[in-house]
């Protein structure tokens, strides 16, 4: 069955509270941690563990006598829910105990943080997501997305850090020694700020992140390391919250990514929501009244939708029965009883699965390959167990997917395998690619592409800029990542400040700016003045608010709105009517 994804559970509408001021920041511009105490120093020695930090579930593995093994949680499971919660006694719960609070205390339970980490609160993506989660998403003092838990505001890095700490403690219990190092995996389609956020989360948890590894590359390691292969493989990774498609060339222990694509807002959660739509429509047809239950009732439907999805991966029919779902106007209880078939499920899921196949076709084009050139297909993520996924891939490639890789554990096992090469010269070579184009903002909001997506890493590109005023001693360049022609629909990475320029008339001073990406997709910036060839100070540290950027780059509000709407329309489009019920249950609209 498909792996469990956190159900969409919601609280009944409550009276709007007076918003608390944004939390104070520390000296590094970060929200002060509430539950984690980052260590002053990390030794950088000792065992290295592999962690698959998932949207809905996480998995931890390590090398034991040269073989990777997955660790069991204290409850005996091979994966742990990526959920944290505050119980009625204000005690922090993590993993399975936290997930059990979803129905009881939905507004005090945080899941799906992976979708929001490293994003500005005012970004189009966060705006679209805010009304979909039952817990409160709020800005911190620097304008980044954060979450409210009880009376505190937590950074999303801390939420991720709490889950990483749980993984760390599982490893320490197993090894009976301190663990301070990890290889952590992220979606291939993660942006540069999101990767940096994972590093910060690791530090908060007391882990030195030795390497950020892309999930599909990690799964390919689990499949092909030390197998003396010479193959081109597709990794199709459809998890609880994200989708990645990556094609790699494996030659012995050289793993070269030829192309990657994905959607960080397409996963099991989204399929569950469409099934909720279907169930509530059937309820209305059968009972003759529209669903008008509260958030708790809606969460019960979400839970049933997830169970139906999992069951129908193995059988042809499944009865969904929720007794006393709601009371009608006459005070009579109404049940939801629907017999679902696999055919119903496949009809519901078909549009979203077609999106994944479109991404696979694009990745084939980017890799300059035909479907027939792909030797093997590796399925990763619980949602990939759905029979329709295998059918659609067989239709495109004419062959069955590999069955040798565990869909839930492959990513963590690959990270553990890679951890064995951290401290020594290894025969393992990983050649990854840039998932999304990086470029600079132009006056008016245009996006000048500098390093194109699917460029092999490490990569660097240089370009020239000239002073625009007499005796200009410093210049600024704003860096963005994405594929849109307008900066507003792309991800803001930061602003480079170039200082210490020689004085001269407007246009006479030219600077060569070099953007460098290392093998883990971390961005570095260098600048050199042309006439003296001297390096000048260039720092990618400044972060402006959307309003400040709009003013500096003279971007019209209309252009910004149009670009944001383009980015947000797709999320609205795929949401179905489910979020109409959510808004009603939360009192956010009719």
SS3 of residue 20 by DSSP? coil
- Rounded Cα gap, residues 407 and 371, in angstroms: 22
DSSP state letter for 579: H
Contact criterion met (CB below 8 Å) for 199 and 209: yes
Which residue among 180, 215, 344, 408 is the active-site one?
A: 215
Q: Sign of the C-alpha dihedral, residues 37, 39, 113, 406?
A: negative
In which element (H, E) is residue 480 found? strand 474-481
Quick check: is 114 catalytic? yes
User: For residue 390, what are the CA distances in angstroms to 122, 269, 272, 316?
Assistant: 38, 20, 19, 16
Burial of 134 (0-12, 13-18, 19+ CB in 10 A): buried
Which residue among 99, 114, 208, 232 is the active-site one?
A: 114
Which tokens sit at 534?
């001297």
Quick check: is 196 catalytic? no
Helices (H) and strands (E) in the chain, counts: 14, 27
User: For residue 217, what are the CA distances in angstroms to 3, 260, 394, 532?
Assistant: 21, 10, 22, 43
Helix 215-224 to helix 410-419 angle (10° resolution) is 80
Residue 254 CB: number of other CB atoms within 10 A? 14
Which tokens sit at 327?
């009371």
- Rounded Cα gap, residues 218 and 244, in angstroms: 12
Which residue among 237, 244, 270, 376 is the active-site one?
A: 237
- Rounded Cα gap, residues 467 and 465, in angstroms: 7
SS3 of residue 543 by DSSP? coil
- Rounded Cα gap, residues 544 and 550, in angstroms: 10
Which tokens sit at 257?
């990514």
User: For residue 305, what are the CA distances in angstroms to 107, 270, 535?
Assistant: 20, 11, 59
Which tokens sit at 27?
């000296």
H/E/C letters for each residue in 227-258? CCCEEEEEEEEECCCCEEEEEEEEECCEEEEE
**Per-position DSSP letters for 98-116, written without gaps between them:** HHTHHHH-GGGEEE-GGGT
- Rounded Cα gap, residues 156 and 137, in angstroms: 10
User: For residue 171, what are the CA distances in angstroms to 30, 62, 104, 168, 509?
Assistant: 28, 8, 30, 5, 56
292's CB contacts (< 8 A; 6+ apart) are: 326, 584
Quick check: is 423 catalytic? no
Quick check: is 52 catalytic? yes
- Rounded Cα gap, residues 146 and 158, in angstroms: 9
∠ Cα 280 281 283 (to 5°): 60
| Catalytic residue IDs | 52, 114, 215, 237
């Amino acid at each position: 069955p498909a792996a469990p994804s956190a159900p969409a559970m919601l609280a009944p509408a409550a009276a709007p509270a007076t918003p608390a001021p944004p939390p104070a920041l520390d000296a590094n511009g970060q929200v002060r941690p509430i539950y984690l105490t980052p260590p002053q120093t990390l030794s950088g020695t000792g065992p290295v563990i592999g962690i698959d930090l998932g949207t809905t579930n996480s998995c931890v593995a390590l090398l034991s006598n040269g073989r990777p093994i997955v660790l069991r949680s204290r409850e005996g499971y091979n994966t742990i829910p990526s959920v944290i919660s505050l119980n009625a006694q204000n005690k922090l719960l993590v993993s399975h105990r936290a997930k059990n609070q979803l129905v009881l205390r939905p507004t005090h339970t945080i899941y799906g943080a992976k979708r929001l980490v490293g994003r500005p609160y005012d970004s189009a993506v966060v705006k679209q997501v805010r009304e979909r989660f039952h817990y409160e998403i709020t800005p911190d003092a620097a304008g980044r997305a954060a979450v409210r838990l009880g009376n505190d505001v937590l950074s999303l890095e801390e939420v991720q850090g709490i889950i990483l700490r749980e993984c760390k403690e599982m490893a320490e219990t197993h090894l009976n020694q301190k663990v301070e190092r990890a290889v952590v995996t992220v979606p291939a389609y993660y942006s540069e700020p999101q990767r940096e956020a994972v590093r910060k989360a690791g530090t908060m948890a007391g882990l030195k992140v030795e390497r950020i590894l892309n999930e599909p590359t990690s799964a390919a390691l689990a499949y092909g390391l030390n197998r003396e292969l010479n193959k081109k493989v597709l990794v199709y990774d459809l998890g609880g919250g994200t989708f990645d498609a990556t094609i790699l060339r494996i030659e012995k222990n050289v793993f070269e990514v030829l192309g990657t694509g994905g959607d960080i807002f397409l996963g099991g959660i989204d399929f569950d929501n469409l099934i909720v739509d279907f169930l509530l429509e059937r309820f209305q047809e059968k009972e003759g009244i529209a669903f008008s239950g509260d958030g708790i009732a809606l969460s019960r439907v979400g839970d049933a939708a997830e169970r139906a999805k999992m069951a129908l991966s193995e059988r042809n029919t499944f009865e969904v029965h929720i007794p006393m779902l709601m009371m009608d106007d006459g005070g009579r209880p109404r049940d939801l009883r629907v017999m679902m078939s696999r055919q119903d499920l496949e009809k519901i899921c078909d549009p979203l699965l077609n999106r994944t196949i479109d991404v696979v076709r694009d990745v084939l084009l980017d890799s300059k390959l035909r479907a027939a050139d792909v030797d093997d297909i590796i399925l990763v993520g619980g949602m990939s167990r759905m029979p329709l996924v295998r059918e659609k891939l067989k239709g495109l490639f004419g062959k069955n997917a590999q069955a040798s890789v565990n869909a839930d554990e492959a990513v963590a096992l690959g990270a553990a395998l890679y951890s064995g090469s951290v401290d020594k010269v290894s025969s393992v070579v990983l050649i990854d690619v840039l998932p999304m184009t990086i470029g600079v903002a132009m006056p008016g909001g245009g996006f000048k592409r500098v390093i194109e997506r699917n460029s092999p890493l490490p990569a660097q590109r240089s370009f020239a800029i000239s002073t625009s005023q007499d005796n200009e001693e410093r210049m600024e360049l704003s860096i963005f990542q994405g594929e849109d022609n307008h900066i507003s629909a792309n991800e803001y990475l930061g602003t480079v400040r170039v200082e210490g320029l020689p004085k001269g008339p407007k246009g006479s001073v030219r600077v060569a700016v070099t953007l460098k990406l290392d093998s883990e997709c971390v961005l570095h910036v260098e600048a050199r003045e042309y006439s003296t060839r001297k390096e000048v100070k260039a720092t990618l540290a400044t972060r402006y608010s959307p309003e400040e950027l709009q003013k500096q780059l003279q971007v019209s509000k209309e252009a910004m709105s149009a670009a944001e709407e383009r980015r947000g329309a797709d999320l609205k489009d795929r949401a179905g009517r489910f979020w109409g019920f959510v808004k009603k249950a939360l009192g956010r609209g009719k």
